[in-house]
């Protein structure tokens, strides 16, 4: 009986979340089609600092399977973009999600969403610096 009630409540939650979930999926489809890997390549300028910031920002607005970020990141490295920027890009690709923000906000509230995304942004930068620094020490 308790399971039946819980299933009913969970179904109601699913129905409540569904419009937002479908919107996010729809936006992903549009972004994946309209924002091409070539466009992502074109925004990197060659400066380590600005490229790392750009990498974090571009990762945050990009959508798709994680392997896509590895493939783009690998090509960016081949094109001479710094490892700082590529690390920030592949990290923010999976930790930040501009498209998912409305869903996150509706379920977790403004304060939690802002705090979590700010921390993810800052830590994408910090981790990219730390990763390159540690790799420099051990290699």
57 binds another protein (CB under 8 A): no
43 binds another protein (CB under 8 A): no
Contact pick of 22, 39, 43, 49 for another protein (by CB under 8 A): 22
71 binds another protein (CB under 8 A): yes
Rounded CA-CA distance 73/60 in Å is 14
State the CB neighbour count (10 A cutoff) for residue 108.
13
3 binds another protein (CB under 8 A): yes
46 binds another protein (CB under 8 A): no
How many Å separate Cα 27 from the centre of its chain?
14
49 binds another protein (CB under 8 A): no
Measure the N-to-C terminal CA separation of the chain; round to a whole number of Å. Answer: 61
Instruction: Report residue 126 as tokens.
Output: 């910090």
Task: Mention every residue, 6+ apart, whose C-beta is less than 8 A from residue 48.
Answer: 82, 84, 85
Shortest CA distance to 57 belongs to which of 80, 25, 35?
35
Q: Which residues bind another protein (CB under 8 A)?
A: 2-3, 6-7, 9-11, 13-14, 16-30, 32-34, 66-67, 70-71, 73-74, 77, 83, 87, 90-91, 94-95, 97, 100, 102-104, 106-108, 112, 115-116, 119-120, 123, 126-127, 130-131, 134-135, 138-139
């Amino acid at each position: 009986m308790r399971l039946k009630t819980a299933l009913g409540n969970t179904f109601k939650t699913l129905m409540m979340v569904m419009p937002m979930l479908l919107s996010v999926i729809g936006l992903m489809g549009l972004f994946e089609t309209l924002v091409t890997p070539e466009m992502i390549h074109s925004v990197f300028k060659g400066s380590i600092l600005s490229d790392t910031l750009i990498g974090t920002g571009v990762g945050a607005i990009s959508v798709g399977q994680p392997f896509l970020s590895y493939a783009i990141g690998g090509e960016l490295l081949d094109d001479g973009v710094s490892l700082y920027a590529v690390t920030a890009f592949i990290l923010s690709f999976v930790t930040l999600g501009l498209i998912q923000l409305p869903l996150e906000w509706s379920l977790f509230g403004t304060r939690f969403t802002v705090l979590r995304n700010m921390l993810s942004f800052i830590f994408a930068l910090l981790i990219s610096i730390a990763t390159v620094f540690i790799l420099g020490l051990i290699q």
